[in-house]
Structure 1
Protein backbone atom coordinates (compact mmCIF):
# COMPACT_ATOMS: atom_id res chain seq x y z
CA UNK A 1 0.00 0.00 0.00
CA UNK A 2 2.82 2.36 0.88
CA UNK A 3 4.68 1.58 -2.34
CA UNK A 4 1.54 2.12 -4.42
CA UNK A 5 0.92 5.49 -2.76
CA UNK A 6 4.55 6.47 -3.32
CA UNK A 7 4.27 5.60 -7.02
CA UNK A 8 0.92 7.40 -7.24
CA UNK A 9 2.49 10.58 -5.82
CA UNK A 10 5.85 10.34 -7.63
CA UNK A 11 4.47 9.58 -11.08
CA UNK A 12 1.16 11.50 -10.82
CA UNK A 13 -0.58 8.42 -12.25
CA UNK A 14 -3.98 9.08 -10.62
CA UNK A 15 -4.07 5.44 -9.53
CA UNK A 16 -6.95 6.26 -7.17
CA UNK A 17 -9.24 6.36 -10.21
CA UNK A 18 -8.83 2.56 -10.39
CA UNK A 19 -10.92 1.95 -7.27
CA UNK A 20 -14.45 0.58 -7.24
CA UNK A 21 -16.85 2.50 -9.46
CA UNK A 22 -20.32 1.40 -8.34
CA UNK A 23 -22.49 -0.46 -10.86
CA UNK A 24 -20.02 0.15 -13.67
CA UNK A 25 -18.54 -2.78 -15.57
CA UNK A 26 -15.24 -0.89 -15.77
CA UNK A 27 -15.36 -0.42 -11.99
CA UNK A 28 -15.57 -4.13 -11.18
CA UNK A 29 -11.79 -4.58 -11.30
CA UNK A 30 -11.64 -1.94 -8.57
CA UNK A 31 -12.67 -4.73 -6.19
CA UNK A 32 -9.15 -6.08 -6.65
CA UNK A 33 -7.38 -2.71 -6.38
CA UNK A 34 -9.42 -0.88 -3.72
CA UNK A 35 -7.41 -1.99 -0.64
CA UNK A 36 -4.11 -0.97 -2.24
CA UNK A 37 -5.24 2.53 -3.23
CA UNK A 38 -5.61 5.46 -0.84
CA UNK A 39 -6.74 9.05 -1.14
CA UNK A 40 -3.43 10.49 0.04
CA UNK A 41 -0.92 9.95 2.81
CA UNK A 42 -3.31 10.83 5.66
CA UNK A 43 -5.77 8.19 4.47
CA UNK A 44 -3.02 5.58 4.20
CA UNK A 45 -1.55 6.44 7.60
CA UNK A 46 -4.96 6.22 9.28
CA UNK A 47 -5.42 2.68 7.89
CA UNK A 48 -1.88 1.42 8.55
CA UNK A 49 -1.80 0.80 12.32
CA UNK A 50 -5.15 -1.00 12.52
CA UNK A 51 -4.25 -2.90 9.33
CA UNK A 52 -1.04 -4.18 10.91
CA UNK A 53 -2.46 -4.94 14.38
CA UNK A 54 -5.73 -6.52 13.29
CA UNK A 55 -4.07 -8.34 10.41
CA UNK A 56 -1.52 -9.79 12.82
CA UNK A 57 -4.26 -10.94 15.21
CA UNK A 58 -6.15 -12.64 12.40
CA UNK A 59 -2.89 -14.18 11.17
CA UNK A 60 -2.43 -15.77 14.62
CA UNK A 61 -5.02 -18.33 13.48
CA UNK A 62 -2.65 -19.50 10.74
CA UNK A 63 -1.86 -18.54 7.17
CA UNK A 64 -4.67 -20.59 5.63
CA UNK A 65 -7.27 -19.04 7.90
CA UNK A 66 -5.85 -15.54 7.30
CA UNK A 67 -6.13 -16.02 3.52
CA UNK A 68 -9.68 -17.39 3.73
CA UNK A 69 -10.86 -14.65 6.11
CA UNK A 70 -9.21 -11.87 4.12
CA UNK A 71 -10.55 -13.18 0.79
CA UNK A 72 -14.08 -13.41 2.19
CA UNK A 73 -13.93 -9.86 3.56
CA UNK A 74 -12.34 -8.54 0.37
CA UNK A 75 -15.02 -10.06 -1.88
CA UNK A 76 -18.05 -9.31 0.30
CA UNK A 77 -16.82 -5.78 0.93
CA UNK A 78 -15.97 -5.08 -2.70
CA UNK A 79 -19.18 -6.51 -4.14
CA UNK A 80 -21.23 -4.68 -1.52
CA UNK A 81 -19.58 -1.37 -2.40
CA UNK A 82 -20.01 -2.03 -6.12
CA UNK A 83 -23.73 -2.73 -5.63
CA UNK A 84 -24.58 0.09 -3.20
CA UNK A 85 -22.08 2.91 -3.67
CA UNK A 86 -23.29 6.28 -4.89
CA UNK A 87 -23.25 6.73 -8.67
CA UNK A 88 -20.24 8.57 -10.04
CA UNK A 89 -18.04 7.86 -7.03
CA UNK A 90 -14.75 5.98 -6.79
CA UNK A 91 -14.08 3.99 -3.61
CA UNK A 92 -10.51 3.36 -2.42
CA UNK A 93 -8.79 2.26 0.78
CA UNK A 94 -8.05 -0.71 2.99
CA UNK A 95 -10.54 0.25 5.68
CA UNK A 96 -13.05 -2.33 4.40
CA UNK A 97 -10.47 -5.02 5.17
CA UNK A 98 -9.73 -3.37 8.53
CA UNK A 99 -13.42 -3.29 9.48
CA UNK A 100 -13.80 -6.88 8.33
CA UNK A 101 -10.89 -8.07 10.44
CA UNK A 102 -12.22 -6.10 13.41
CA UNK A 103 -15.65 -7.70 13.20
CA UNK A 104 -14.12 -11.11 12.59
CA UNK A 105 -12.11 -10.73 15.80
CA UNK A 106 -15.11 -9.36 17.72
CA UNK A 107 -17.57 -12.15 16.86
CA UNK A 108 -15.43 -15.24 16.33
CA UNK A 109 -15.47 -15.99 20.07
CA UNK A 110 -19.26 -16.12 19.98
CA UNK A 111 -19.31 -18.57 17.06
CA UNK A 112 -16.42 -20.65 18.49
CA UNK A 113 -17.67 -20.42 22.10
CA UNK A 114 -14.17 -19.40 23.17
CA UNK A 115 -13.60 -17.40 26.34
CA UNK A 116 -10.06 -16.52 25.21
CA UNK A 117 -11.30 -15.10 21.92
CA UNK A 118 -14.04 -13.19 23.75
CA UNK A 119 -11.39 -11.60 25.99
CA UNK A 120 -9.48 -10.46 22.90
CA UNK A 121 -12.76 -9.05 21.55
CA UNK A 122 -13.39 -7.09 24.76
CA UNK A 123 -9.87 -5.61 24.62
CA UNK A 124 -10.31 -4.64 20.96
CA UNK A 125 -13.72 -3.16 21.64
CA UNK A 126 -12.32 -1.09 24.50
CA UNK A 127 -9.46 0.25 22.39
CA UNK A 128 -10.96 0.58 18.89
CA UNK A 129 -14.70 0.25 19.53
CA UNK A 130 -15.54 3.76 18.36
CA UNK A 131 -14.37 2.87 14.86
CA UNK A 132 -17.58 0.87 14.49
CA UNK A 133 -19.49 4.12 14.01
CA UNK A 134 -17.79 4.25 10.60
CA UNK A 135 -20.34 1.78 9.22
CA UNK A 136 -22.97 4.52 9.39
CA UNK A 137 -23.49 7.04 6.60
CA UNK A 138 -22.80 10.65 7.37
CA UNK A 139 -19.26 11.78 6.67
CA UNK A 140 -18.89 13.03 3.09
CA UNK A 141 -16.01 11.43 1.22
CA UNK A 142 -15.89 8.37 3.51
CA UNK A 143 -17.02 5.04 2.06
CA UNK A 144 -19.32 3.87 4.82
CA UNK A 145 -20.37 1.18 2.33
CA UNK A 146 -16.81 -0.15 2.33
CA UNK A 147 -16.80 -0.18 6.12
CA UNK A 148 -20.25 -1.78 6.41
CA UNK A 149 -19.78 -4.51 3.82
CA UNK A 150 -16.23 -5.22 5.02
CA UNK A 151 -17.68 -5.67 8.52
CA UNK A 152 -20.42 -7.97 7.21
CA UNK A 153 -17.72 -9.95 5.39
CA UNK A 154 -15.89 -10.30 8.70
CA UNK A 155 -18.99 -11.68 10.42
CA UNK A 156 -19.52 -14.13 7.55
CA UNK A 157 -15.85 -15.18 7.72
CA UNK A 158 -16.10 -15.78 11.49
CA UNK A 159 -19.15 -17.96 10.97
CA UNK A 160 -17.49 -19.91 8.12
CA UNK A 161 -14.35 -20.49 10.20
CA UNK A 162 -16.45 -21.74 13.14
CA UNK A 163 -18.38 -24.12 10.88
CA UNK A 164 -15.13 -25.40 9.37
CA UNK A 165 -13.59 -25.88 12.82
CA UNK A 166 -16.61 -27.88 14.03
CA UNK A 167 -16.48 -30.19 11.03
CA UNK A 168 -12.79 -31.09 11.53
CA UNK A 169 -12.28 -34.54 13.06
CA UNK A 170 -10.97 -34.66 16.61
CA UNK A 171 -7.62 -36.43 16.87
CA UNK A 172 -6.39 -38.19 19.95
Structure 2
Protein backbone atom coordinates (compact mmCIF):
# COMPACT_ATOMS: atom_id res chain seq x y z
CA UNK A 1 0.00 0.00 0.00
CA UNK A 2 1.58 3.30 -1.08
CA UNK A 3 1.68 6.58 0.88
CA UNK A 4 -0.99 8.21 -1.35
CA UNK A 5 -3.48 5.45 -0.50
CA UNK A 6 -2.73 5.72 3.23
CA UNK A 7 -3.02 9.53 3.09
CA UNK A 8 -6.30 9.28 1.18
CA UNK A 9 -7.73 6.81 3.72
CA UNK A 10 -6.65 9.00 6.65
CA UNK A 11 -8.17 12.07 5.02
CA UNK A 12 -11.42 10.22 4.30
CA UNK A 13 -11.57 8.87 7.87
CA UNK A 14 -10.96 12.32 9.36
CA UNK A 15 -13.62 13.83 7.10
CA UNK A 16 -16.14 11.18 8.20
CA UNK A 17 -15.31 11.72 11.88
CA UNK A 18 -15.75 15.49 11.55
CA UNK A 19 -19.11 14.94 9.84
CA UNK A 20 -20.28 12.74 12.74
CA UNK A 21 -19.16 15.33 15.30
CA UNK A 22 -20.89 18.06 13.26
CA UNK A 23 -24.12 16.01 13.22
CA UNK A 24 -23.92 15.59 17.01
CA UNK A 25 -23.40 19.34 17.40
CA UNK A 26 -26.34 20.14 15.11
CA UNK A 27 -28.67 17.61 16.80
CA UNK A 28 -27.94 18.76 20.37
CA UNK A 29 -28.07 22.44 19.32
CA UNK A 30 -31.37 22.01 17.45
CA UNK A 31 -32.94 20.36 20.51
CA UNK A 32 -31.60 23.19 22.69
CA UNK A 33 -33.10 25.84 20.38
CA UNK A 34 -36.50 24.09 20.35
CA UNK A 35 -36.36 23.70 24.13
CA UNK A 36 -35.40 27.36 24.56
CA UNK A 37 -38.18 28.59 22.26
CA UNK A 38 -40.81 26.47 24.05
CA UNK A 39 -39.86 27.75 27.50
CA UNK A 40 -38.04 24.50 28.40
CA UNK A 41 -41.19 22.45 27.80
CA UNK A 42 -39.09 19.48 26.65
CA UNK A 43 -37.54 19.17 30.12
CA UNK A 44 -40.64 17.29 31.25
CA UNK A 45 -39.00 14.35 29.44
CA UNK A 46 -36.04 14.27 31.84
CA UNK A 47 -35.02 11.15 33.76
CA UNK A 48 -37.15 11.10 36.93
CA UNK A 49 -35.99 8.28 39.25
CA UNK A 50 -38.47 5.55 40.18
CA UNK A 51 -41.30 7.29 38.30
CA UNK A 52 -42.41 4.94 35.51
CA UNK A 53 -43.30 7.68 32.96
CA UNK A 54 -39.88 9.17 33.78
CA UNK A 55 -38.24 6.14 32.16
CA UNK A 56 -38.48 7.97 28.82
CA UNK A 57 -35.80 10.26 30.26
CA UNK A 58 -33.32 7.38 30.29
CA UNK A 59 -32.86 8.04 26.57
CA UNK A 60 -34.17 11.62 26.15
CA UNK A 61 -32.74 13.22 29.31
CA UNK A 62 -29.16 13.60 28.06
CA UNK A 63 -30.33 15.69 25.08
CA UNK A 64 -32.06 18.29 27.29
CA UNK A 65 -30.55 21.17 29.24
CA UNK A 66 -31.81 23.36 32.06
CA UNK A 67 -30.46 26.60 30.59
CA UNK A 68 -28.45 27.98 27.71
CA UNK A 69 -25.36 28.17 29.95
CA UNK A 70 -25.90 24.48 30.84
CA UNK A 71 -25.92 23.68 27.11
CA UNK A 72 -22.80 25.82 26.50
CA UNK A 73 -20.87 24.11 29.31
CA UNK A 74 -21.56 20.70 27.71
CA UNK A 75 -21.36 21.22 23.95
CA UNK A 76 -17.58 21.79 23.59
CA UNK A 77 -16.41 18.86 25.75
CA UNK A 78 -19.07 16.69 24.10
CA UNK A 79 -17.70 17.45 20.63
CA UNK A 80 -14.03 17.10 21.67
CA UNK A 81 -14.56 13.80 23.49
CA UNK A 82 -16.82 12.48 20.69
CA UNK A 83 -13.99 13.09 18.23
CA UNK A 84 -11.55 11.24 20.49
CA UNK A 85 -14.05 8.39 20.92
CA UNK A 86 -14.26 8.07 17.14
CA UNK A 87 -10.56 7.08 17.10
CA UNK A 88 -11.83 3.67 18.26
CA UNK A 89 -13.95 3.36 15.10
CA UNK A 90 -17.46 4.43 14.19
CA UNK A 91 -19.17 1.16 15.19
CA UNK A 92 -17.53 1.15 18.61
CA UNK A 93 -18.36 4.82 19.08
CA UNK A 94 -22.07 4.23 18.47
CA UNK A 95 -22.13 0.98 20.49
CA UNK A 96 -20.39 2.59 23.48
CA UNK A 97 -22.59 5.69 23.28
CA UNK A 98 -25.83 3.71 23.22
CA UNK A 99 -24.63 1.34 25.96
CA UNK A 100 -23.56 4.23 28.21
CA UNK A 101 -26.72 6.30 27.68
CA UNK A 102 -28.94 3.34 28.58
CA UNK A 103 -26.85 1.98 31.47
CA UNK A 104 -26.28 5.43 32.99
CA UNK A 105 -29.94 6.35 32.58
CA UNK A 106 -31.16 3.14 34.21
CA UNK A 107 -28.74 3.50 37.14
CA UNK A 108 -29.85 7.11 37.68
CA UNK A 109 -33.49 6.03 37.43
CA UNK A 110 -32.93 3.30 40.02
CA UNK A 111 -30.63 5.10 42.47
CA UNK A 112 -30.74 8.85 41.75
CA UNK A 113 -32.33 11.57 43.85
CA UNK A 114 -35.95 12.42 43.14
CA UNK A 115 -35.41 15.17 40.56
CA UNK A 116 -35.39 15.60 36.79
CA UNK A 117 -31.93 14.52 35.63
CA UNK A 118 -31.03 16.15 32.32
CA UNK A 119 -27.96 17.14 30.32
CA UNK A 120 -25.17 15.75 28.18
CA UNK A 121 -22.77 15.72 31.11
CA UNK A 122 -23.70 12.09 31.83
CA UNK A 123 -22.52 11.18 28.30
CA UNK A 124 -19.42 13.36 28.71
CA UNK A 125 -18.54 11.47 31.90
CA UNK A 126 -19.11 8.17 30.09
CA UNK A 127 -16.67 9.20 27.38
CA UNK A 128 -14.25 10.47 30.03
CA UNK A 129 -14.31 7.10 31.84
CA UNK A 130 -13.98 5.16 28.60
CA UNK A 131 -11.11 7.23 27.23
CA UNK A 132 -9.16 7.18 30.50
CA UNK A 133 -9.10 3.39 30.64
CA UNK A 134 -9.51 2.19 27.05
CA UNK A 135 -6.16 3.36 25.74
CA UNK A 136 -4.27 1.31 28.33
CA UNK A 137 -6.43 -1.75 27.70
CA UNK A 138 -5.91 -1.46 23.93
CA UNK A 139 -2.10 -1.39 24.34
CA UNK A 140 -1.86 0.84 21.26
CA UNK A 141 0.48 3.80 21.57
CA UNK A 142 -1.80 6.38 19.90
CA UNK A 143 -4.76 5.36 22.10
CA UNK A 144 -2.63 5.39 25.26
CA UNK A 145 -1.59 8.93 24.26
CA UNK A 146 -5.30 9.87 24.06
CA UNK A 147 -5.86 8.41 27.56
CA UNK A 148 -2.98 10.48 28.93
CA UNK A 149 -4.18 13.67 27.20
CA UNK A 150 -7.74 13.18 28.45
CA UNK A 151 -6.43 12.60 31.97
CA UNK A 152 -4.31 15.75 31.77
CA UNK A 153 -6.87 18.11 30.22
CA UNK A 154 -10.09 16.71 31.69
CA UNK A 155 -8.85 15.10 34.91
CA UNK A 156 -10.66 17.72 36.99
CA UNK A 157 -13.95 16.17 35.89
CA UNK A 158 -13.42 13.46 38.49
CA UNK A 159 -14.56 15.88 41.21
CA UNK A 160 -17.95 16.12 39.46
CA UNK A 161 -18.89 12.65 40.71
CA UNK A 162 -19.16 14.04 44.25
CA UNK A 163 -22.44 15.46 45.60
CA UNK A 164 -21.20 19.07 45.76
CA UNK A 165 -24.14 21.11 44.38
CA UNK A 166 -27.82 20.26 44.74
CA UNK A 167 -28.77 21.44 41.22
CA UNK A 168 -26.12 19.24 39.53
CA UNK A 169 -26.84 15.59 38.76
CA UNK A 170 -23.71 14.16 40.32
CA UNK A 171 -25.46 10.79 40.04
CA UNK A 172 -25.46 11.18 36.24
CA UNK A 173 -21.76 12.04 36.40
CA UNK A 174 -20.92 9.12 38.69
CA UNK A 175 -22.95 6.49 36.84
CA UNK A 176 -21.80 7.90 33.49
CA UNK A 177 -18.17 7.52 34.57
CA UNK A 178 -18.80 3.96 35.81
CA UNK A 179 -20.62 3.09 32.55
CA UNK A 180 -17.66 4.39 30.56
CA UNK A 181 -15.24 2.23 32.55
CA UNK A 182 -17.44 -0.83 31.99
CA UNK A 183 -17.67 -0.03 28.27
CA UNK A 184 -13.86 0.23 28.11
CA UNK A 185 -13.57 -3.26 29.60
CA UNK A 186 -16.03 -4.54 26.97
CA UNK A 187 -14.87 -2.70 23.83
CA UNK A 188 -11.28 -1.42 24.21
CA UNK A 189 -9.41 -4.46 23.00
CA UNK A 190 -8.84 -5.54 19.40
CA UNK A 191 -9.06 -2.00 18.01
CA UNK A 192 -7.93 -1.68 14.40
CA UNK A 193 -6.39 1.68 13.57
TM-score by length of 1: 0.90
What's 2:8 paired with?
Answer: none
Match of 1:52 among 60, 76, 79: 79
Provide the secondary structure at the position in 2 that maps to 1:154: helix
Deviation per CA, 1:93-134, whole angstroms, max 9, x where unpaired? 011100100111110022223333222111111111101110
What's 1:147 paired with?
Answer: 173
Which protein has greater RCO, CA pairs closer than 8 Å, 6+ apart? 1
Matches within 5 A, 1:31-46: 31-46=58-73
The question of 1:10 aligning with 2:37 is answered yes
Which structure has greater helix proportion? 2
Structure 1 vs Structure 2 CA RMSD: 1.6
Match of 2:128 among 82, 102, 105: 102
Deviation per CA, 1:55-112, whole angstroms, max 9, x where unpaired? 011112221011111011111110111011112x100001110010011111002222
The question of 1:128 aligning with 2:154 is answered yes
Separation (CA, whole Å) in 1 of partners of 2:68 and 2:38? 15
Match of 1:77 among 104, 109, 132: 104
In the TM superposition, structure 1's runs of 4+ consecutive aligned residues that sit over 3 Å from their partners are none
TM-score by length of 2: 0.81
Number of residue pairs the alignment of both structures matches: 165
Provide the secondary structure at the position in 1 that maps to 2:84: helix
Separation (CA, whole Å) in 2 of partners of 1:158 and 1:150? 12
Separation (CA, whole Å) in 1 of partners of 2:188 and 2:157? 25
Equivalent residues of 1:110, 1:118 under 8 A apart: yes
* Shift in Å, 1:12: 2.5
